[in-house]
Structure 1
Amino acid sequence: MAIPESIEAWFEGRGWRIRRHQAEMLDADDAGQSALLTADTGAGKTLAGFLPTLAAFTPERLDGAAPDDGLHTLYVSPLKALATDVRRNLLVPIEEMELPIRVESRTGDTPSQRKARQRAKPPHVLLTTPESLSLLLSYPESFVMFAGLKRIVIDEIHAFATGKRGDLLALALARLEAIAPDMRRIGLSATVSDPEQYREWLAPWGDIDAVSQVIGEPGAEPVIEILLPEGERIPWGGHAAAWAVPQLYEEIRRNRTTLIFTNTRFLAEYIFQLLWDVNEDVLPIGIHHGSLSVEARRKVEGAMARGELRALVATASLDLGVDWGDIDCVVQMGAPKGSSRLLQRVGRANHRLDQPSRAILVPGNRFEFLEAQAAKDAVEEGVRDGEDFRPGSLDVLAQHVMGCACAAPFRETDLLREIRSCHPYAWVDETLFDRVVNFVADGGYALRAYDRFKRITREPDGEGGFVWRLTHPEQAARHRLNAGIIIDGEMLTVRFRNGRSLGKVEERFAAALRPGDTFQFAGISLEVESLKESEVIVRGSKKSVMIPSYGGARMPLTTHLADRVREMLVDRPGWSRFPDDVREWLEVQDWRSHLPEPDELLVESFPHAKREYSVFYTFEGWNANQSLGMLITRRMEDRGLSPLGFVANDYSLAVWGLKPIEDPASILSPDILAHEFVDWVQESHLLRRAFREAAVIGGLVERQQPGKRKTGKQVTFSTDLIYDVLKKYEPNHVLIEAAWAEARTRMTDIGRLAGVLDRAAEQTVHVQLERVSPLAVPVMVVIGRETLPAGSADDELLLEAETLGGVAMRPDDPVRG
């Protein structure tokens, strides 16, 4: 079918042309096909995803008829900010072409009255998130609301398809397929590493042929540079890259708008404050992260859209899809952690296909320089990376089952067939699903005696079969109040006495505050006036000492980037492109000790400060190294080596004790995963923490009650009590199984831990030294400060790093065995 003339005229009127991939998306929709579009940032992906919707409402295709009422297109994004930005940009072509399309957004920030109206009278296009969509599907009205749905557009599909939010969305897609079987599915991304896997995830029953692959026109190559200190050396340790702030400020002065990304909310606040300290021109600089209030985020987003800010410091809350075309430069503070993530963030600059995006990487230390160089090389080579797909989580499945029961009674066999049509849960059999349903029904064998866990009940359907329905209508309200996948630490609202909210800080941070204490938040210096059960009342202050830190998951170093860094270490001719201090660092390491080949595990042992240290160079990320540290110290204890502690970063693990490790290969024997790992996880806080999250997601423990929210301590007490009961009486409980899966993957990264043990079994290189080596300095300087938030002790840390570095770089030969 031809492209409607009104759309062609609109493109021409703006001096644009319809790109090949945009036309192909329209062709796929006209042919009744779903599609996955992979295209560079600035290629008009979102417009391509909506083009079939716009075409359906043009005068040419309506042919004089009025458009149907009801929901036509559903748009799902990983971020609230992205949904807001897309609505703003989508309204432009709709208004300029005078198309009869109503567009609304629905997120956790949407007022309840508007949400109720949307269920009764939905717009033609609804912009939402996976969590809000799942809640919509829990209402009886959903069967009518979605019956006429023609298309669902999933933007930035890579951002959640491989995690629990992707599990929730996949289950929602299966339900939508049952309600509107003719619905087409559209996936959009600039950074998909394996398109076939995503097509399989996107399609019902994993039918990859049902999803066309559309590849976007290539755009201009990004321009990426790595910032180096002026006249100084790259620091040995630290991640804040605070050394770069004066140079960064000069960059801001040169540009119209600079977008500065950090990897954590703490660093966003910290770097923002440092920039204000040097902001002698009083340039308008903003801050944006997920813990700020809705009003604060919207204010900053609006100012950026109007071009009123010279710089914005942000976290991942803005690194997906937000279209601000006037950004001159993107800055990444600290290591990028992956080539796809870097490419995504780089694309925020000059958000146009034909103009190169410009980015600056600011490494916090020497290992981060290597990581930045590896990411830069990967982007320039067009190589993407990403997380692997894994089986769907059982706690998410339990939440979905409860949501389906809230919408209508269900037959177990029908719902199982529906659930198995989505890729993450194709593996679920009747026995496992029966266990999940029975958990939702009464909490499981060990808990069924308690009425509060009875949520659904099995009754005859009048046709010789059975259906599951709610035990009481109030169960639906309780479910909707508590449903969700994102489990942050318990939060307290920070507000002024007049009621103005600034955002939220974690309960563990607020618990340490007292009236009169000062801290930095939302870019403002604040003094605590009083503390209530769920609020921190503040007023402005002229000084601030602390910055809130948040306990969210660490951004993992991708396997692909880790492999590149390992290869760079032994590519001696390639060192010529490195700064002098980095090249010297590697050369002295090569001479004094050893640089590991990609298939080797290097372990260095040396005395320091009357202790015996061993550093394991794994390059497998913080989670795997942290887990390895726990396991190694257990074995050291069993062998009488008197371990005293360990510390990990993404690249290495340092362990110390009173006696040296003589044979690291034997300590890393593969059976460590079969015995010590299981014992350690069961005894540690990890399984309890994973169970706590699974219990909340699965609906066993409620965080929210009408008019009241439980504190983190209350939730922890409840989940720990239940965990102890289940561990004793029902160790194979569905949520224990879900907790184990979480502990193995996200919390301990057991897959990468197994990779370390494989390399250790093949080739462990153990070097015994008289003192610390150059390669060990970055992890050694963290000892004693691993519990402090990044940046809080920078000056002291850097001073110690230089001292250790001087010892490590002394030219005399240190090898002792």
Structure 2
Amino acid sequence: MAVPQTIERWFDGRGWRVRRHQAEMLDADDAGRHALLTADTGAGKTLAGFLPTLAAFTPERLGDQAPTEGLHTLYVSPLKALATDVRRNLLVPVEEMGLPIRIETRSGDTPSDRKKRQRSRPPHILLTTPESLSLLISYPEAAELFAGLKRVVIDEMHAFATGKRGDLLMLALARLQALAPDMWRSGLSATVADVEAYRGWLAPWGDLDAVSHVVGEPGAPPDISILLPDGERVPWGGHAATWAIPQIYEEIRRNRTTLVFTNTRFLAEYIFQKLWDVNDDTLPIGIHHGSLSVEARRKVEGAMARGELRALVATASLDLGVDWGDIDCVIQMGAPKGSSRLLQRIGRANHRLDQPSRALLVPGNRFEFLEAQAALDAVEEGVRDGEDFRQGGLDVLAQHVMACACAAPFQEDALMAEIRSTLAYAWVDAGVWQRVLGFVENGGYALRAYDRFKRITREEGGWWRLTHPEHAARHRLNAGIILDGEMLTVRFRNGRSLGRVEERFAASLSPGDTFQFAGLDLEVEVIREIELIVRAAKKSAMIPSYGGARMPLTTHLADRVRGLLIDRAGWARFPDDVREWLEVQDWRSELPGPGELLVESFPHATREYSVFYTFEGWNANQSLGMLVTRRMEDRGLGPLGFVANDYSLAVWGLKPITDPAAILSPDILAHEFTDWVTNSHLLRRAFREVAVIAGLVERQQPGKRKTGKQVTFSTDLIYDVLRKYEPDHVLIEAAWQDARTRMTDVGRLAGVLERAERETVHVRLDRVSPLAVPVLVPIGRERMPAGSADDEMLIEAESLISLAMTPE
């Protein structure tokens, strides 16, 4: 069907044209098909997603009839800010075309009176998030509210489809499809790697034939370059890239607006402060990350939208961005970690399809230079990467079952069929379903004696209903998937505090483990609620640097870096010092090729070192370090410590590892891995998350919110009971799944073990190799207090470099 003249005239009036992919989204809707649109940033994806809705309200489609009241289109965004921004941009065409459409947003920030009114008198278009949609489904008005729903538009699918928020949204879509069988789904993304997988995610019952794939018109290729030090060498270690601060400041001075991305909140604060230190012109420079208050973030977003900032330092909080067309350049500090993430960030510049987005990549060290080059090559080749889909979480499923029960009694077979229509939960069989229902019913066998856990009850004919209306109110207060990561205070028994670390890091430790923090070698005495009690270690720290939260290196980019290492002909395009680094490595040792695991062993400073070149990311390498040192201990090798980065793991001890393949035998996952996860706080932490998501423990009660300490205390008590009396409880299973996949990256660990079993290349050297230097230069030097510790590390780094690079 042709594009309505009302829409054509509006595009003409702006000097635009309806692009092919925008028209094809309209065609897919007219043909009664779901649609997945993949298009570059700036291609008008959001407008394309809404075009069928706008067309339905044009005079050409309405004729003499008044528009039907009620909810017509749902727009689901991963970010509240993105929904607000879309509403602002959508109001312009609606008002200028004179379309009779009411548009509203609904999120956690929406006033309660407006939320209540939206359930009885909804707008035509409602912009919301997965969590707010799930809550809407839990109200008794849901059946009537969604009965006339025509379309759901899901923006930035790649940002949450593969995680628990994706699970929650997929279940909500299944519920909506049952309430509105004629509803059509549209998914939008700029960076989908596996189109078929996303089509399966979008389609009911995984019916790929029901989903059209609409490919956006190509835009101007991005202008990307790697920033290198002026007359100096690419650094060996570190990841903050502070060497580039003067050059970055000059870039900010040249541009109207520059967006500076960092990979962690710590680095955002650190780089922001470094820029202010050199800001002699007092240029307006802002900062934006998830730990800032809503008010602070909104203030910065408003200043950017008004063109009042010359630069903004941000984290992933702006990856999905807002339409700021006046950004001249995007700067990526440190490694990009993935080609899709890099493209998403680059797309924040210009945000126009016909103009190239300009970006600078600033590597913090030599491996990061290779990673930046690999990402740049991938972008030029149009290759995307991303996370794989996995089985849906049982904790999310339990939350959804409770939401459905809050709305109305449900029939268990019908709801199971709905759930199985989704990609994430197609695996759920009758046995799993009954376990989930049993948990929601009374908490499970070990908890069924407590009335507080009795939330639903079964009646004749397989119908389930709430045991008491108050459970609906409690559910709505606590439902959600996003959990704030707790920070644990590191302190001595005498009360002296040293600072705070992420709970994820603390959870990987056990009493007796040693790590370095605030310039001190510390031994863990006990992990207690939200405190990490330590004492001064009598020996050097086993984990020489506290890593903090880090983005994972994608498998695709890791493979490309390995390819660059062995492509000797391609080294000619690298800076002289990087090329020399690789040439000396090639002469002195080996280079890690695809499909093999290179392990180098060498003596240094009275210790025996082994470096495993895994390229599996920091999280997997950190976990591997825990396992390898435990196995070394069992075999009498006297492990003294380990350090990990994205590319490699270095371990050292009193005796050499003579057979690394035996150290990495596959049974390490069955023995050491199981013992480590069970005896550390990893499983306990994972249980806390799933218990909150599944509704077993409430974060919030009427009129008050529990502290993190109170939630921790409650979940720890329940965890101990279940471990003792019901170790196969559905939430223990869910916690194990989380601990394996998210916290330890066991899938990538298994990849290391497979390569080790298939082809381990073990090279015995008489000294440190050039490739080993970056992992042995302690990472995170910028966290250390200035002074002698910092000077000693610099001296040690220079000594290592000289030893590795001097030919003999």
Whether TM exceeds 0.5 here: the answer is yes
Residue 746 in 1 paired to residue 745 in 2? no
Residue 686 in 1 paired to residue 682 in 2? yes
In structure 2, relative to structure 1, the CA distance for the partners of 1:788 and 1:328 (3 Å cut) is same
In structure 2, relative to structure 1, the CA distance for the partners of 1:480 and 1:210 (3 Å cut) is same
Residue 399 in 1 paired to residue 399 in 2? yes
1:225–1:359 CA contact under 8 A, matched in 2: yes
Distance 2:546 2:653 in 1: 30
Structure 1 residue 674, shift from structure 2 partner: 2.5
In structure 2, relative to structure 1, the CA distance for the partners of 1:197 and 1:791 (3 Å cut) is farther
Aligned to 1:616: 612
Distance 2:7 2:492 in 1: 57
Partner SS for 2:599? strand
Distance 2:468 2:270 in 1: 49
Structure 1 residue 511, shift from structure 2 partner: 12
Aligned to 2:476: 480
- Mapping for residues 189-268 of structure 1, pairs under 5 Å: 189-268=189-268
Distance 1:95 1:686 in 2: 53
Kindly provide the amino acid, as one letter, of the partner of residue 171 in structure 1.
L
Task: Let me know the Cα RMSD of the aligned residues.
Answer: 2.6
2:621–2:649 CA contact under 8 A, matched in 1: yes
Distance 1:596 1:212 in 2: 42
Structure 1 residue 321, shift from structure 2 partner: 4.5
1:642–1:658 CA contact under 8 A, matched in 2: yes
Structure 1 residue 117, shift from structure 2 partner: 2.0
In structure 2, relative to structure 1, the CA distance for the partners of 1:399 and 1:786 (3 Å cut) is farther
Match for residue 569 of structure 2 among 573, 579, 590: 573
Kindly provide the amino acid, as one letter, of the partner of residue 618 in structure 2.
W
Aligned to 2:752: 756
Distance 1:797 1:618 in 2: 25
Residue 346 in 1 paired to residue 342 in 2? no
Kindly provide the amino acid, as one letter, of the partner of residue 411 in structure 1.
Q
Partner SS for 1:433? helix
Distance 1:224 1:798 in 2: 32
Which string of whole-angstrom CA distances, capped at 9 and with x for unpartnered residues, describes residues 508-550 of structure 1? 48999x999999xxxxxxxxxxxxxx9xxxxxxxxxxxxxx99
Aligned to 2:807: 811
Partner SS for 2:482? coil
Distance 1:517 1:58 in 2: 63
Structure 1 residue 791, shift from structure 2 partner: 14
Which string of whole-angstrom CA distances, capped at 9 and with x for unpartnered residues, describes residues 454-494 of structure 1? 1112233xxxx14211121111111111111112224xxxx
Aligned to 2:521: none
Structure 1 residue 359, shift from structure 2 partner: 0.6
Distance 1:797 1:591 in 2: 27
Match for residue 729 of structure 1 among 713, 725, 730: 725
Structure 1 residue 409, shift from structure 2 partner: 1.3
Structure 1 residue 181, shift from structure 2 partner: 0.8
Aligned length: 766
Distance 1:787 1:250 in 2: 26
Partner SS for 1:423? coil
Kindly provide the amino acid, as one letter, of the partner of residue 594 in structure 1.
E
In structure 2, relative to structure 1, the CA distance for the partners of 1:351 and 1:483 (3 Å cut) is same
Distance 1:386 1:358 in 2: 23
Aligned to 1:540: none
1:629–1:648 CA contact under 8 A, matched in 2: yes
Unaligned residue ranges in structure 1 (runs of 5+): 491-505, 520-533, 535-548, 813-817
Distance 2:499 2:611 in 1: 39
2:489–2:498 CA contact under 8 A, matched in 1: no
Which string of whole-angstrom CA distances, capped at 9 and with x for unpartnered residues, describes residues 604-645 of structure 1? 122233322211110011121112111111111111111122
Aligned to 1:541: none
Distance 2:788 2:646 in 1: 20
Kindly provide the amino acid, as one letter, of the partner of residue 421 in structure 1.
S
Aligned to 1:659: 655
Aligned to 1:125: 125
Structure 1 residue 802, shift from structure 2 partner: 3.1
1:255–1:310 CA contact under 8 A, matched in 2: yes
Partner SS for 1:384? coil
Distance 1:580 1:705 in 2: 62
1:402–1:479 CA contact under 8 A, matched in 2: yes
- What is the aligned-residue identity percentage? 82
Distance 1:685 1:516 in 2: 21
Structure 1 residue 289, shift from structure 2 partner: 1.2
1:109–1:294 CA contact under 8 A, matched in 2: no
Which string of whole-angstrom CA distances, capped at 9 and with x for unpartnered residues, describes residues 653-683 of structure 1? 1111222111111111122223222222222
Distance 2:379 2:692 in 1: 39
Aligned to 2:293: 293
Partner SS for 1:424? coil
Aligned to 1:497: none
Distance 1:515 1:664 in 2: 41
- Mapping for residues 483-498 of structure 1, pairs under 5 Å: 483-490=479-486
Partner SS for 1:385? coil
Structure 1 residue 142, shift from structure 2 partner: 1.4
Partner SS for 2:332? strand
Which string of whole-angstrom CA distances, capped at 9 and with x for unpartnered residues, describes residues 241-267 of structure 1? 111111001001111111111111111
1:156–1:321 CA contact under 8 A, matched in 2: no
Distance 1:784 1:144 in 2: 55
- Mapping for residues 49-64 of structure 1, pairs under 5 Å: 49-64=49-64
Structure 1 residue 120, shift from structure 2 partner: 2.2
Unaligned residue ranges in structure 2 (runs of 5+): 501-529, 531-544
2:490–2:498 CA contact under 8 A, matched in 1: no
In structure 2, relative to structure 1, the CA distance for the partners of 1:52 and 1:776 (3 Å cut) is same
Kindly provide the amino acid, as one letter, of the partner of residue 699 in structure 2.
R
Aligned to 2:181: 181
Residue 42 in 1 paired to residue 42 in 2? yes
TM-score (norm 2): 0.91
Residue 696 in 1 paired to residue 692 in 2? yes
Structure 1 residue 594, shift from structure 2 partner: 1.5
Partner SS for 2:670? coil
2:174–2:422 CA contact under 8 A, matched in 1: yes
Aligned to 2:775: 779
Which string of whole-angstrom CA distances, capped at 9 and with x for unpartnered residues, describes residues 362-381 of structure 1? 11111111001000000000
Q: Which runs of 4+ in 1 moved over 6 A?
A: 509-512, 514-519, 549-552, 783-796
Distance 2:433 2:155 in 1: 30
In structure 2, relative to structure 1, the CA distance for the partners of 1:302 and 1:791 (3 Å cut) is farther
Partner SS for 1:246? helix
Kindly provide the amino acid, as one letter, of the partner of residue 709 in structure 1.
R
In structure 2, relative to structure 1, the CA distance for the partners of 1:396 and 1:516 (3 Å cut) is closer
Structure 1 residue 749, shift from structure 2 partner: 1.4
Aligned to 1:303: 303
1:238–1:794 CA contact under 8 A, matched in 2: no
Distance 1:786 1:657 in 2: 27
Structure 1 residue 809, shift from structure 2 partner: 1.5
In structure 2, relative to structure 1, the CA distance for the partners of 1:687 and 1:326 (3 Å cut) is same
Kindly provide the amino acid, as one letter, of the partner of residue 412 in structure 1.
E
1:339–1:379 CA contact under 8 A, matched in 2: yes
Aligned to 1:527: none
Which string of whole-angstrom CA distances, capped at 9 and with x for unpartnered residues, describes residues 192-228 of structure 1? 1111111111011111111111111111111110011
Structure 1 residue 712, shift from structure 2 partner: 2.1
In structure 2, relative to structure 1, the CA distance for the partners of 1:40 and 1:510 (3 Å cut) is farther
2:37–2:216 CA contact under 8 A, matched in 1: yes
1:199–1:208 CA contact under 8 A, matched in 2: yes
Kindly provide the amino acid, as one letter, of the partner of residue 277 in structure 1.
D
Match for residue 631 of structure 1 among 615, 627, 645: 627
Kindly provide the amino acid, as one letter, of the partner of residue 623 in structure 1.
N
Distance 1:336 1:111 in 2: 38
Partner SS for 1:661? coil
Distance 2:84 2:138 in 1: 24
Partner SS for 1:425? coil
Kindly provide the amino acid, as one letter, of the partner of residue 565 in structure 1.
V
Distance 2:361 2:410 in 1: 53
Aligned to 2:424: 424
1:57–1:99 CA contact under 8 A, matched in 2: yes
2:240–2:782 CA contact under 8 A, matched in 1: no
TM-score (norm 1): 0.90
Aligned to 2:512: none
